Amino acid sequence: MHTSEFSGPREDWPINAALARLGVASVGPGAPDYRDLFVEVGLGQGRDEEDWRWAALKASNAANYDEWHAREQAKRESEERAAAERAI
């Protein structure tokens, strides 16, 4: 899938549409609107090769992907809560 326009809803963006076709689903009812499938599967953390290299180094001490992903998700949620509290 290819397009150069990203003006529509996030679920129509090429990578999100492709992820949906692969069976990726959002967290579920009540999930914040800003979350897209690209972010949902953890791809939003790395936008270039250096980001991915850093993520690989951080993940190397995890027993498995699920453990690493849960730890990273908890960290992101904590940072989001802290940012929301600062905004208030």
pLDDT band at 21 (very low <50, low <70, confident <90, very high): confident
1: Cβ–Cβ under 8 A, 6 or more apart, which residues? 14, 17, 18
Q: Do the Cβ atoms of 40 and 27 come closer than 8 Å?
A: yes
- Does this model's pTM top 0.85? My answer is no
pLDDT tens-digit readout, 23-37: 877 766 565 554 567
Q: What is the mean pLDDT of residues 69-86?
A: 90
What's the pLDDT at 60? 72
CA 86-87-88 angle, to 5 degrees, is 90
Could you report the per-residue pLDDT of 37-75, keeping only the tens digit for each? 777 777 766 667 777 777 777 777 677 778 878 888 999
